[in-house]
Structure 1
Amino acid sequence: MAPSIAENPTAEVVVPVKVSPQASTSKPKVRRIIEEEGGKSTASYPHYLPVWDYGEKYPPLEPFTHIDHGKDADPSFKDLLPEGSQIQRLTPTIGSEVTGVQLSKLTAAGKDQLALLVAQRKVVAFRDQDFADLPIQEALDFGGYFGRHHIHPTSGAPEGYPEIHLVHRNNNAWEYDDYLAAKNSSVSWHSDVTYEQQPPGTTFLYLLDGPEVGGDTVFVNQVEAYNRLSPALKERLHGLKALHSGFEQAEHSLKRGGVDRRDPVKNEHPIVRTHPATGEKALFVNGGCECCPMKSGIY
C-alpha cells in the first residue's frame, strides 16, 4: 500500500469501461501465457496467468473523487487488530508485520483502520491471507473499497480482470535478464504509473508463486527521505513540480510486440506531497526503470 496522493478532486467517480474494438475481418490477437506453455502450467493459480488482448482499448481516465478512509479512522485499531492478533515493527520508520488477522473478513471500520495503519507505517505485511483462494472478483471488491481500480495500459492481466496488474516471469524472460546483465544490482527504485493524473493511492500486493530464495521486493519511505533533507533543500523543493510521462512505457511495450490499452499521458505533480490522513510531507519523484520506462522531469 502507498499513501493517497489525490488532491482537490472535483468530479464524481467515473469507472473506465471497455471500448469494443472496431469490426475487422480477422479476430483480434490474444496472447495467453498458458497457451505458450502448451496448455499446462506448474503455476499454483493458473487462472491468474497473464493474457494480453490486442483488441482491447480503453478511453482516457476521468477525474474521480477520492475518499481516504484512514482520515477519520479509530487510531486504537480495535476493529483491525482484535485480541489474539500481533503486530511487530520491522524498522523504526517503515514496515510492520501482522499475524492473526484475515483482511477479507474486515468490517468497514476495520478497513478504515487498515488505511490509517498503512498511512502511518507505509508498508504492512499480513501473513496467511486468503485473497488468492477467493474468486478474483471478490478480491477486487475488497480492494475497491479503498479507491478506483487502475487498469495498467501495457501489462498482462488474468483473462477478464484487467484491474489486476501481474508481475510474471517465466523461462522466456530474456529481456529482463538482458536488463540485469548491464547492472551490478537487481534493485530498480520506482513507483508505478505516476504519470496518471490521479495515481493509485493504495496497492495490495500478494504472492502467488515465488522462488525459494531471492526475489525480494523492497520499499522506501519517502516521508523519511523528505525529513532527512536539510531545511534549505526542503524550502527549495516546495513549489517545484515534476512532469511524469507514460509515453516511454507505451513505446517500449509496442516495440517488443506488447499492448497499449490506453493512449499514454503526461501529468505534472508537486515534488512534495502531504498525506491527508497523517499530515506528513513526502517526496514524490520517480526516476522510473528501464524494464518499465517512465520519465520525469523537474522544473
Structure 2
Amino acid sequence: MSTVETITQSIPETLSLRPAASEDNGADQQSRQEEPYRYAHLLPQFPRQEHFPPLTPFEHVDPGARALSHANPRSFLDGATSVIELTPNLGSEIQGINLATLDNIGRDQLALEVARRGVVAFRDQQDFIDRGPDFYLEWGRYFGRLHIHPTSGHPEGYPELHLVYRDANTTFNYELHDSITTTLWHSDVSYELQPPGLTTFFLLSQPTTGGDTLFTSQVSALKRLSPQFVAFLRTLKAVHSGVEQANYSRAGNRGGVVRREPVEHIHPVVRRHPVTGEEALYVNRQFTRRIVGLKREESEAILRLLYDHIDKSGDNQARVKWSPNTVVIWDNRVTAHSANVDYGELKQRRHGARIAPQAERPIPALDGLDLDK
C-alpha cells in the first residue's frame, strides 16, 4: 500500500474537513466529506531508498536587488484592491494580485517587498495553488536554488516540495509532545551553509479554526537591544545544527527517513540582508546550539536572553490567520516563525506545502568576521 493510500485511509469517514474555497460553495457538508480528497496527489511520501549527496555551495543573486533600480519598486501592487500592514514593522496582507501571472519585473519587486516587510500574505490565490507542483518548482527556482529537505515528506516525484501534514490519526510535523507549548520559533533549516531566503507557503487543507502561523521580526528584535550589546553581538558567531532533527526522524517520527546526512554550520549572530542592508538577529531555539569561542555557561546565558527576547516580544510579532487559497511569502533571513498547533482536538486535517529557495551564506553584520574559524 502506498503512503498516499495509507494517509487517505487513516482519515475517518466522519471527519469534518475544511475544503478549498472552490469546494466551499454551500453544498451539503456530508456530500463534501464523501468526495475524493482534491489534493491527494500532494500527500506526503517518504521513499526509503531516497538519498541525496551533501549540498554544494553556489552563487546566489537576489532578485530583489534588481527592483532597487526600478522607478517604482512597488508597481506590481498597482492592481491590488487592498494592501494592509499587519503591524508597523512586520507583515502585510494583500488582495487583488494574482501571483501566478506576475512577470519577472513583478517577481523582482515582490522579493524586495517581502524583504522590507518580512512576511506578506496574499489572499485569493486559487490560480497559484491549482497550477500544481511543476509550476511551484518554476516559481521557486526564480528566487534561488530549491532546497530539498533532509527529513520531511514530499509529493511523489517532487522532493523539492516540503510538506507539513497532520490529521486525526497521523502527524508528519515536528512536534515536541513533552512541552507545555507548541510555539517553537525558528528560521527554516538554518543549519544549512546557505539557508533559504524568499520562502513560499500555502495550505491545501486546513482546520475550521486554529492552525495560525506566528511570525517575528528579527530586525525589530535586534533594534530593541542596547547599542553596546548589539556591538558585542556583531562579533559573535554560532553553530546551527541539523543533527537533532535528523535523530528525531531516525527514531521513527515524521516518516522516519533521513535523505541527507545532517550538517552543522557556523553563522553570524547578527547578519546583514544583501538587498536592504538591514541587520537582523540570526539565532533560533530549534537549530542554534552554541556560540563559538565562549564557555558553555556564557554561551547559554546569551542565547537564553536572546531566545526569551524573541519569545516574549509581542510588539515584534505578527499573526497570519489562514483562509482558503492564501499564499504566504516570507524572508527567512530576517524573520522567524512558529506553527500554532492548537487544533489537535478538532481531529481535522492541516496540509501545507513550502517552496524554499536557498539564498546566500549569511553575511556578517560586522565586516571581516571570519566564519571559517
Output the CA distance in 1 between the equivalents of 2:145 and 2:134.
14
- Picking from 167, 170, 179, the partner of 1:170 is 167
- Given the superposition, is the C-alpha separation of residues 174 and 113 from structure 1 closer, same or farther in structure 2, using an over 3 Å criterion? closer
Q: How far apart are residue 36 of structure 1 and its match?
A: 4.1
Equivalence for 2:135: 138
Kept after mapping to 2: 8 A contact 1:79/1:107? no
After superposition, residues 47-86 of structure 1 pair within 5 angstroms as 47-73=41-67, 74=70, 76-86=72-82
1:116 equivalenced with 2:87 (yes/no): no
Output the CA distance in 2 between the equivalents of 1:287 and 1:139.
29
After superposition, residues 70-219 of structure 1 pair within 5 angstroms as 70-73=64-67, 74=70, 76-129=72-125, 130-173=127-170, 179-180=176-177, 182-219=178-215
Kept after mapping to 2: 8 A contact 1:81/1:101? yes
| Structure with the larger RCO, 1 or 2 (CA within 8 Å, 6+ apart) | 2
Kept after mapping to 1: 8 A contact 2:149/2:160? yes
2:276 partner amino acid: T
Q: How far apart are residue 143 of structure 1 and its match?
A: 1.3
Equivalence for 1:18: none
Q: Deviations over 1:137-164 (max 9, x none)?
A: 1121011100010000000000000111
Kept after mapping to 2: 8 A contact 1:79/1:109? no
Q: Deviations over 1:196-240 (max 9, x none)?
A: 000011110111111111111010000000011111110110120
Query: Could you state the TM-score of these two structures normalised by the residue count of structure 1?
Result: 0.82
Kept after mapping to 1: 8 A contact 2:164/2:172? no
Q: How far apart are residue 176 of structure 1 and its match?
A: 7.0
Output the CA distance in 2 between the equivalents of 1:264 and 1:65.
22
Kept after mapping to 2: 8 A contact 1:31/1:52? no
1:144 partner amino acid: R
Output the CA distance in 1 between the equivalents of 2:5 and 2:260.
25
SS of the counterpart of 2:213? coil
Higher normalized strand content (fraction of residues): 2
SS of the counterpart of 1:80? helix
Count of aligned residue pairs for this structure pair: 264
- Given the superposition, is the C-alpha separation of residues 189 and 139 from structure 1 closer, same or farther in structure 2, using an over 3 Å criterion? same
Q: Deviations over 1:184-205 (max 9, x none)?
A: 3321111221110000111101
1:72 partner amino acid: R
Kept after mapping to 1: 8 A contact 2:80/2:94? no
- Given the superposition, is the C-alpha separation of residues 179 and 43 from structure 1 closer, same or farther in structure 2, using an over 3 Å criterion? farther
Kept after mapping to 2: 8 A contact 1:44/1:209? no
1:34 equivalenced with 2:9 (yes/no): no
5+ residue gaps, structure 2, are 12-34, 293-373
SS of the counterpart of 1:220? strand
1:283 partner amino acid: L
SS of the counterpart of 1:276? coil
1:262 equivalenced with 2:256 (yes/no): no
Q: How far apart are residue 85 of structure 1 and its match?
A: 3.4
- Given the superposition, is the C-alpha separation of residues 124 and 177 from structure 1 closer, same or farther in structure 2, using an over 3 Å criterion? closer
- Given the superposition, is the C-alpha separation of residues 277 and 177 from structure 1 closer, same or farther in structure 2, using an over 3 Å criterion? closer
Query: Could you state the TM-score of these two structures normalised by the residue count of structure 2?
Result: 0.67
5+ residue gaps, structure 1, are 1-29, 289-293
2:50 partner amino acid: E
Output the CA distance in 1 between the equivalents of 2:270 and 2:168.
41
Identical pairs, percent? 47
Equivalence for 2:273: 275
Higher normalized helix content (fraction of residues): 2
Q: How far apart are residue 43 of structure 1 and its match?
A: 3.6
Q: How far apart are residue 78 of structure 1 and its match?
A: 4.9
Equivalence for 1:298: 291
